[in-house]
Every structure is written in C-alpha cells, then in structure tokens.
Structure 1
C-alpha cells in the first residue's frame, strides 16, 4: 500500500503528463488529462449526445419541443463556432474613388501640428477647420484659423430663437 498522509489522501509516486501531450500535468481523477483537455473532452461528448438525439428525433419524425430546442441550440453553437474575422479588402468591382480613399488613409503617417510640424500623436488637438495642432497652437488665434466662429454662432442663435409674430388684425 502507498503511504497515507494526515488527511488520508494518497500521494502519487511521480507527476504524470497529460495524455494529449499538451504539456500540462494530468490526474487520475480526470483520466490522466489536464483540466482543460478533460473539460474539452466532456464538452465534445455532450455535443455528440445532443447531435445523436437530435438526429434520432428528426429521423423518427417526432416534433417534440425538446428536439426542436436541441436543434436550435446546435444551430446557434454551429453559427458561433464558425464565425471568422477576415480583413476587408477593396473589391475590384468597386469604384476607384473609394479604393483611393482607403489607400490614402493607409498611407498617412504620424499626426503633426499644421503650424509648426511638431509630432503630436495622441495629444493633438483637432480644430473645427479640420487640422490637428499642438498644445501651443490649439487656439484659433494662434494658428490663423479660417473657420468663421461668428457666423456659426449667429446661425445657432437664429435656429434656437425663431421669430414669432402675432397677426395685427383678426381675420373675419
């Protein structure tokens, strides 16, 4: 007999590697597999049972609600499992202007201040005129901004406060 420690558990003679050769250690309680491989094996067995029962219900022609639920669950598992992320490439059938726009976005380098050409990176300030500026040139008076703030403000006030006039004479 193997020696027992104070808790009554048997100590293994030496550690065993997982039988799937994944590099982790396995245990006798998990059929000499590591915990991840054991869970994956149980999941595969469960899915096999579900597919077998759903195939039987489809073949037998029974329309029980349990069989329908199983088929729906399998369909969602298949949809989730087969989704892949693929990079979007420009199709030759698209018009040339959209493919040129993609190329321009790909070729843009690091963002720089429009006035002093200093690299700004993520700390750049974008102005309403459409350019990016450093901390020193971020204000409109420091970079000679062509954007007309006054006209935009007047338009906003005009839209927010429409003119309301009452009629001078009551119509009969």
Structure 2
C-alpha cells in the first residue's frame, strides 16, 4: 500500500471489460479496450488522417516528398488504334473446333485416377508414363505402367558417367 501512495498508481479493483463490448478484457494502456479493438481504432485513425492529408494535397495542388502520400500527376493523352471485330457465321464454324473446345472442358474437370477413375484432387500422383493416379495405383506395378524404367536408368547412368579414354602411348 505504501508503494502505491508513493508512485500514485492504483491497482485495478477487478478486471475491466473492453469498451467495445467484444467480450475480452481491456487495460488502461489500451484505453480500456482489448488489443484487437485497440489496433483497429488506431488503424482507422491512421487511415482517416492519411485520407484527409491526401485530399488536402489534391485540393491545394501541392506535392510533397513524403513517400506515403499519393503523387498527383497531369493527365496524359493516349491514342488508341481502332479494333476491328470479325463476326464468323455459324456455318463456318467447323466440327473440329467444337470438338477441341469440348476436350478442353473435359480436361478442366476434376482430376481422376487413370485406373479406377476415383477423384484425386490435389493428392494425385503423377507417374512417368504421364498419367495421374490415386494412392492405391501410384506404383508402376499397380497400374500397368508402360514407361521403360530400365532404359531410362541406363541413359541416366550413361550421361552421368561419360567414357574417358586416354591416348595410347605417345609416338616416338
């Protein structure tokens, strides 16, 4: 008690609820608001202050070197070339273009396993044969993979270990 008389600080009698009635406890350092409400009010004040200063600069036409304030520039005339629109009659539309558009729509659908046609979404596994598989069919022996792993391994080893031959004995 003596320490509080000397410093002039008083301990709060009980917990103080936030002024905005959000259900959390506030403190005297945050103007009897919780930390979230306090941050929101400070952010709103800064935005209002920024908007007022930018409107003032626009009205007065003055520019400042402060990087936070918007820069007002003069309007620039831009010439735009006219665009010609081509209308294609329905008779000229080929069946192949319709088939291509249907194929792209079919591919854009949900991703499915190539073996069991189960939806896989983002958890699908891409195989070296180029197909997408579920967790059950992700291994090459489970989905009858046509990729030649043995030839691919041979090529990788051949590229990684080039043949080095030294010249035969020097000619005298």
TM-score (norm 1): 0.49
Say which structure is richer in helix.
1
TM-score (norm 2): 0.49
